[in-house]
Structure 1
Amino acid sequence: MKKTARKFLSFAAVLLTFLAAPAEGIRGGQAFPKRIISLAPHITRGLFALGAGDRVVGVTTYCNYPPEAKKKEKVGSLLEFSAEKIVALKPDIIFATEEGNPPQVLSRLKSLGLNVYVFGKTESFGGASAQFRALGNMVGKEKAAEKILKKIEKRRLKIIKKAEKLDKVKVFYQLGTNPVITAGQDTFIDEFISVCGGTNIAHNVKNRYARYSREEVVRQDPDVIIIVDMGKETGQEKKNWARFSQMSAVKNNRISVVSADLACSPAPVALIEGLEEIAKCVHPEAFE
């Protein structure tokens, strides 16, 4: 009986050790990584928000927030990286994303013996929060992650509660031009539009992100058009839509521009600000 008990306790100890491990991708002998490379802007933002920015040794050229991230060594863009520079930085772990980084590039990094952890697709606010929580666990910042997520959820629920009392308005969300790109179902953008009291006219497109013709937008006659800031092209896009004077969004001057950093970054610390910005576009009378 005692021998059985000892075996059970030994098994339990091993199981607890396994469950307490940070996650797949962390080096066996090192509890938490001290040298981190981030290959995605939202991961970089998340690491700094968690208080692990001092451990980041390399980032992409697109990692521009917070300002401190700009001072970090640049290892490449989202699609191409300098393997030599990455190896020279001696990272304990490299954080990448399934949607943002090419699999062949990540495979090459792994073939060099580098420790690469790839986050999956982000399809909802809940998914983004789960990834942020996982990131916190992997860098030893679980409590910080939970504290941040608790505050974010409070802000999110405040928007939901207010939007529940509002009439639904039709929304078109533009992510790109030439061709026009929008977001469909199974995206946090689609979820945000609904949460804010809107109906995404492109909800039923086949792909999560897809081309959408201007003619179809005109036919659907949205009450609101939201354009993600595209720099110099943004002003021209507003003029392009203004040509369709019969559309409700044009007649009522309901074409808005939102920050790409906030509205397209799957980091909860940015998403909540993006959600609040979208809410002001969809129902300015309630959220201004």
Structure 2
Amino acid sequence: MRFLLLLVALFPFSSAFAEQSQFVQRIISLSPHMTELAYSAGLGDKLIAASDYSDYSDYPEQAKKLERVANYRGIKMERILALKPDLILAWKGGNPSREMTRLQQLGIKIFYSNPTQLTDIADTIIKLGQFSDDPSIAKTAATQFKLQLANIKEQYKNKPKVRYFYQLSDSPILTLSDGNWPSPVFSVCGGENIFATSTAAYPQVNQEQVVVRQPDVIFGSSHATSQKNSPWLNWQGELPAVDNHHLYQLNSDWLNRPTLRTLNAIKQVCQLLDKARNQ
């Protein structure tokens, strides 16, 4: 009797997954991080198109072969409709709301992602797994991510804080406040953001404001690098980061895309903050 009750309890759950995965066979991704997460969740064989911004869907290698249906000018609505997708993967706040609303009105299902915490990466993969023919792929990827993240958190939970400045661009100089991606990457390593309490998510600042706050480390990314100069070559004044040569360029794809490769960004940032601690 117990066995029969167990089968009855499990059957609707299994059927729901089967119906969902069978319904979704043609997927378009309009965000590079969603493209990566889709592959991580076992949806690679269902992806038919992706975005092509300056930060375009280029990972994993298979993603480079996908048709491009969006760029910096906007979304190619006619082409998307012609491809007849069952599902569109989008970035909440990162894709134009008017076009996304129009697609929804036309009956296309949209899955939004807006990660703000590291755990959101694993959670998103699990949710995407419902559209896979084998949800265990997503579950395994999410579990491994959580385990590695937990190990890093344990390793760095009692380490001294290190004051840092993260430069998103050089003209104008943009940074970020706490609670906005990728601030969780720095936080888990014991980084203390000198603009943590800014009221803006990505505030524009000047050199004087940075000098006053005396960061121990300055991070930049390829997006912050001008055509000829690295972002920190113009830094002047009495800065611990400059005096001690703690000026580092980070891998933008690892850092700015909330995916499984965020673990690579965490390890990179942690190692560089350790250099400042150990000096």
TM band (smaller chain): 0.7 to 0.9
Paired residue secondary structure (1:230) = helix
Task: Give the fraction of aligned pairs with identical amino acids, expressed as a percent.
Answer: 28
Counterparts of 2:188 and 2:40, CA distance in 1: 25
Counterparts of 1:237 and 1:38, CA distance in 2: 31
Amino acid of the structure 2 residue aligned with 1:59: A
Counterpart residue number, 1:94: 88
Counterpart residue number, 1:283: 274
Distance 1:29 1:164, change over 3 A: closer
Paired residue secondary structure (1:239) = coil
Counterparts of 1:29 and 1:212, CA distance in 2: 47
Counterpart residue number, 1:197: 190
Paired residue secondary structure (1:183) = coil
Q: Paired residue for 2:239, among 247, 271, 277?
A: 247
Counterpart residue number, 1:264: 256
- 8 Å contact 1:280–1:286 — kept in the other structure? no
Counterpart residue number, 2:128: 135
Give a deviation string over 1:35-86, Cα, whole Å, max 9, x none. 1100010111112223321211010111111121111111012661111111
Counterpart residue number, 2:119: 126
> Within 5 Å, which residues of 2 pair with 1:1-288?
17=12, 21=16, 31-61=22-52, 62-77=56-71, 80-119=74-113, 121-230=114-223, 233=226, 235-241=229-235, 243-244=236-237, 246-267=238-259, 269-284=260-275
**Cα offset, 1:226, TM superposition:** 0.7
Amino acid of the structure 1 residue aligned with 2:106: L
Amino acid of the structure 1 residue aligned with 2:254: L
Range that drifts further, 253-262 or 188-197: 188-197
Amino acid of the structure 1 residue aligned with 2:252: A
Counterparts of 1:101 and 1:220, CA distance in 2: 34
Paired residue secondary structure (1:233) = coil
Distance 1:81 1:188, change over 3 A: closer
Give a deviation string over 1:5-39, Cα, whole Å, max 9, x none. xxxx9xx98xx8589746xxx9x886441111000
Range that drifts further, 30-39 or 214-223: 30-39
Counterpart residue number, 1:6: none
Range that drifts further, 63-72 or 127-136: 127-136
Amino acid of the structure 1 residue aligned with 2:117: S
Counterparts of 1:98 and 1:70, CA distance in 2: 23
- 8 Å contact 2:170–2:225 — kept in the other structure? no
**Cα offset, 1:162, TM superposition:** 2.2
**Cα offset, 1:248, TM superposition:** 0.2
Give a deviation string over 1:240-271, Cα, whole Å, max 9, x none. 12x33x1000000001011111100012x121
Counterparts of 2:255 and 2:265, CA distance in 1: 4
Paired residue secondary structure (2:57) = coil
Let me know the Cα RMSD of the aligned residues: 2.7
Distance 1:220 1:232, change over 3 A: closer
* Consecutive aligned runs of 4 or more in structure 1 exceeding 6 Å deviation: none
Distance 1:140 1:284, change over 3 A: farther
Counterparts of 2:276 and 2:153, CA distance in 1: 15
Counterparts of 1:155 and 1:215, CA distance in 2: 39
- 8 Å contact 2:27–2:88 — kept in the other structure? yes
Q: How many correspondences in the alignment?
A: 268
